[in-house]
A and B are shown apart, each in its own frame.
Chain A
Amino acid sequence: MANISVFLCKCFGEIDNTINFDFLREELSKDPSVVLISIVDSLCLETDIEKTVSQIRESNSDKVLIAACSTLSRGNLVIESLIKEGVERHKIGLVDIREGCAWIHGDNPEDASKKAKDLINMGIAALQHKDMSDDMSVTVHPNALIIGAGPAGLAAAMSLARTGFKVNLLERSKVPGGMLKLISRCYPDNDDASNKLGPYLREVENNPLITFYPQSKITSVEGDTGNFTVHFSFQEKDSFIQAGVIIVATGAKIFFPTGLYGYGEIKNVINQMEFERQSLNGSLETKKPVFIQCVGARNRERPYCSTICCPISLKNASRIAEDIPGASVFILHRGIMTPGNTLEKYYRDTLSSGVQFIRFEEEQPPRIIGSDYVEAVEVYDAITGITRKIETDLVVLSTPLVPNNDNVQLAEMLDIEVDRYGFFSEIYPMHPLETKTDGIFICGSARWPVSSDHSILQGKAAAMKAVSYLRQSKIAASTLSRVPGLKSGHARVVPESCTGCGNCVAACPFDACHIEKLEGRYISIVNMMKCKACGSCVSVCPNGTMQIPEHNYRMVGEMIKMAF
């Protein structure tokens, strides 16, 4: 049993108005492990902290229990200042007798005093049995791996390289640029895609900190935050890279609407990508194009809006309306998705450029007239209630971006999540680029369909998040929490008694547990870099082998015993 010194805070009368401190002193002195009972006016004031520290040093106590206000009030500040004075964190216990006792039982001082006694006893029990988690630290490889050299990946690479970090840029195809290579102009500034890409491509070529690996494909990922080892095939040779952080910027792919509106069968029914190609190589010839929105999107199969198709149609439609005299351009839509100021203005500009909009409903989609050449499109205008026949020479289908086929596979390798559609997903809306595994970030259309401008923005943002990891030479597992000091430890397995049942593996929401064969037996191993100490594994462990030392079974048991 450790010797404990107990500090009771009066909080300027806030606590001792209700709670009888003499009674507490009397009760506490019965406990042989309590070597010092000190009553303080207000622990959170600097002068009292100094006194407390000198008292702790003079007494022969091993641990300190503070009975004061709650951690969410000023309790945490007291702990922090004690730590600053050199007391170790795991040797400090805090019991809340203000918010949790004196203030809510102010009408019943007798019961409140008894409760305070019980709470302090629970605190002592907790302090006696509290253990400390092991910690580990990883030496950080001060370079980043970026998967995908589209606009998002390129922006991240350039940002990190300019900040001074080595970047390895992996790309599936032969050249960097991603989808921007395939299109002519970008919305909403109508800038040429090549102009937009130019600085990034030059940076990849000229910055010695960026190593570009074309035609490569990831085969496996090992290691943890700060120290990933990624094996990949590079121009059909096996290779590997060590990296501190990984940024996933693999983009998305285009949906080909085979069978819809005669796509694939009729020559003048094309999708937006073919439209872009034709305008890039100058083979585009149309005077009466009809754009149809939400082809294969916002339906049962793909219940999502792909964000970029409406602005793309606006861009292409207004271009024809402005460039070709006498053109008649129609956009058949199910609600134009142009949120924000820039896009809304883009929409208004398109309207004033003479492009005509017709809204249709999902149940009554437009009909193609013509078997091997579309001559007209028939559509029920949901707003006027009139069925209209529009003559046309080109039907352009706006299709959504869909996730890459190997997203699930890659997500499994990286231990990150994909959403129900197959895009990589964050787990917390307020941290949209961070994933389940610390040190792996997602950006661009691999995360969710976005415009080129926003891809670049997200690439930069992901790079910023990466910097905070890369600049550390070592990362300790205990600091891998969004709030320092709030992570309560890591789960710990006792190898001798682990039966290898695998319950913890199934229960862990962060994939921190796995089963390994050790000395002929299967046992569970906890990866501290991934463990967030939620305790899901603890409660499903059949024999109490899995524990969080800071919150272990004995401790909770003893606390329950002392509760009344």
Chain B
Amino acid sequence: MTGFEHIQKTGRDAVLVVGGGVAGITASLDLADAGQSVHLVESSSYLGGQVSKLDKLYPTDHCAFCPLWTDVKKCMEHPLITVHTLSHVKELNKENGNYSAVILRGPHYIDEKKCIFCGRCEKECPAAAIHPDWEHLYPPSFVIDETLCTKCGNCTKICPSGAIDMDLKEEEISLPVSDVIWATGFKEANINHLKEYGSGTHPDIMTSMEFEEWTSEAGTNRGTIIKRSDGAIPANIAFIQCAGARDLRMIPSCSAVCCMHAFKQAEWVKRRDKRIDCSIFYTDLRTVGRDYYRYSLRDFEDANIKLVRGRPGLIHPLPSGNGIAVQFENTITQKREIRKFDIVILNGNIQPSLIQLRPAQPGSMAVPRTDKEGFVIEESGETSDFACGFGLEPADVADSVIQASAAAMRIMNKASDQR
């Protein structure tokens, strides 16, 4: 009996995949394609994770959205995958080599199976709590922001297809699971306490994910590059690498993706507006993947992006409010300099999302064993905890997808060994 026959004949318990980013989606699809049933748990209202917020992917400049969209669609339609959005894993109990999970499924006040996306509820809502879900979600639907909702009931009355039910409560779903794949991804870390970066002191000092949202084609400014403070076109932009990362005070490890991310952003800034001057302040440029180094060279030479080796010692908004001063020592020329920039982008402050979850809500959420930095420690036994994506180790899209498939394979092999 082959592995998947075993899975199908014995009705092996479902695999629980936690996190609906690229890694989670890929792991779910791979397992489901092999006949294994999967429960995919995602905390936000849509699948796609951080990649759905990216505009373009390095190094080929493909859009992030359309391949992701097709995978999300496939996931939603797959008969063996049960998707739980707005949910998290409340409990995981290991008993006699069996896992049982309790999934806390948040109320889906707007039933996405019934919502026709007419938008009447959005117009009627006095608290402005209703907004369209992630723009390219399939099928499109609205979501209610529970923090704003006053439960007035206007939307329930106006909805023509009866998709809204405000009386829904959180639902606890208990199910036996065979294994867990943690694909919890990354979150941006707050580095306001690292005073030298000036994070949070000026609207034009942004983190790279904020900048991505600010300038991406689907984002706030529809692909134009302007300052957040006054809406003017910036003359120059500084990308500060390793802000918070490779820093024993904050994130000791290298976040692996930020160098290329900065190159990509600088390249697209240049593509959209040639006049804007881009400088990247780096410690080491880590360009190890296919064409990554070439991408950085191309940026450096063709797009005329300035590379400065040096970690800024101080970044502070100028007293006039116009511009941000960056003090640094160029470690190649050994010169101390101070330069004025219009936008400063802090890059590197990303860390596994588990490290931020844990202290916030003790007991209310099941989390795997992690190391000090928040990366999952995999455990293989009768009931296994596998991990993939940024939650396992810093990884970009390609690496996350590879890790996801490999995790799925290990579960397949385990299933075969159990027969």
Contact = CB atoms under 8 A, between A and B. Distances in A.
A432 interface: yes
A59 to B, nearest CB: 26
Given A73-B140, A339-B254, A164 B5 contact: yes
B34 A464 contact: yes
A482 B70 contact: yes
Given A12-B116, A471-B4, A340 B139 contact: no
A159 B412 CA distance: 8
B412 A45 contact: no
Interface in B54-81: 57, 59-60, 62, 67-68, 70-71, 73-74, 77
A344 B253 contact: yes
Interface stretch (A236-244, A422-430, A501-509): A422-430
A77 B139 contact: yes
A483 B70 CA distance: 6
Nearest to A333: B284
B406 A457 contact: yes
Contact of B254 (A74, A343, A482): A343
Interface string B104-120: 00000000001011100
A163 B412 contact: yes
B292 interface: yes
Interface stretch (B265-273, B311-319, B339-347, B393-401): B393-401
B402 A11 contact: no
Contacts of A432: 398, 401-402
Interface residues of B, number: 74
Interface string B279-291: 0000011111111
A461 B409 contact: yes
Given A305-B287, A428-B67, A460-B405, A340 B161 contact: no
B34 A471 contact: yes
A343 B105 CA distance: 38
Nearest to A305: B293
Contact of B413 (A163, A343, A420, A484): A163
B2 interface: yes
A483 to B, nearest CB: 4
B294 A304 contact: yes
Nearest to B114: A45
A461 B253 CA distance: 25
B205 interface: no
Contacts of A77: 139
Contacts of B217: none
A475 B155 CA distance: 47
Interface in B1-50: 1-6, 22, 30, 33-35
Q: How large is the interface on A (under 10, 10 to 19, 20 to 34, 35 or more residues)?
A: 35 or more
Nearest to B245: A344
A152 to B, nearest CB: 11
B203 interface: no
A463 B68 CA distance: 22
Contact of B409 (A74, A384, A460): A460
A14 B119 CA distance: 10
A304 B291 contact: yes
A345 B331 CA distance: 23
A343 B59 CA distance: 22
Contacts of A461: 401-406, 409
Contacts of B408: 464
A352 to B, nearest CB: 12
Contacts of B259: 339
Nearest to A336: B284
Interface in A448-475: 448, 454, 457-458, 460-465, 467-468, 471
Query: Taking each of B2, B71, B257, B334, which has the highest tally of chain A beta carbons within 10 Å of its own beta carbon?
Result: B2
Contacts of B293: 298, 303-305
A483 B293 CA distance: 32
A340 B416 contact: no
Contacts of A339: 254-257, 259, 286, 288, 394
B283 to A, nearest CB: 8
A430 B405 contact: no
B285 A335 contact: yes
B202 interface: no
A384 B333 CA distance: 9
Contacts of B416: 162-164
A420 B253 CA distance: 32
A486 interface: yes
A420 B290 CA distance: 10
A468 B413 contact: no
Given A338-B254, A342-B393, A430-B67, A12 B57 contact: no
Given A164-B2, A336-B284, A341-B394, A159 B34 contact: no
A165 interface: yes
A45 B138 CA distance: 17
Given A12-B118, A382-B332, A430 B289 contact: no
Most chain B Cβ neighbours within 10 Å, of A45, A69, A447, A471: A471
Contacts of A307: 288-289
A185 to B, nearest CB: 20
A383 interface: yes
A335 B256 CA distance: 14
A257 B48 CA distance: 45
A467 B34 contact: yes
B375 interface: yes
Given A340-B253, A430-B68, A461-B402, A423 B290 contact: yes
Interface in A393-426: 419-420, 423, 425
B57 A14 contact: no
Contacts of A14: 116, 118
A42 interface: yes
B410 A460 contact: yes
B194 interface: no
B246 interface: yes
Which among B114, B291, B403 has the greatest number of chain A C-beta atoms within 10 A? B291
A80 to B, nearest CB: 8
A483 B67 CA distance: 10
Given A457-B402, A457-B403, A483-B73, A341 B254 contact: yes
Interface string A431-450: 11100000000000001100
Contacts of A73: 116-117, 139-140
Nearest to B392: A341
A13 B119 CA distance: 12
B173 interface: no
B115 to A, nearest CB: 9
A32 interface: no
A342 B252 CA distance: 10
Contacts of A69: 116-117
A467 B33 contact: yes
Contacts of B34: 464, 467-468, 471
A483 B77 CA distance: 10
B402 A340 contact: no
A430 B22 contact: yes
A486 B285 contact: no
A11 B118 contact: yes
Contact of A468 (B2, B33, B417): B33
B297 interface: yes
A489 B416 CA distance: 37
A39 interface: no
A341 B375 contact: yes
7 tightest A-B CB contacts, nearest first: A164-B2, A341-B253, A461-B405, A12-B160, A163-B3, A339-B256, A468-B33
Interface of A: 11-14, 42, 44-45, 69, 72-74, 76-77, 159, 162-165, 298, 303-305, 307, 335-345, 348, 361, 382-385, 419-420, 423, 425, 428-433, 447-448, 454, 457-458, 460-465, 467-468, 471, 482-484, 486
Given A163-B2, A468-B30, 8 more contacts: A42-B160, A74-B116, A74-B117, A336-B284, A337-B286, A339-B288, A385-B334, A464-B34
8 contacts: A13-B160, A305-B288, A307-B289, A348-B252, A430-B71, A461-B409, A467-B412, A471-B35
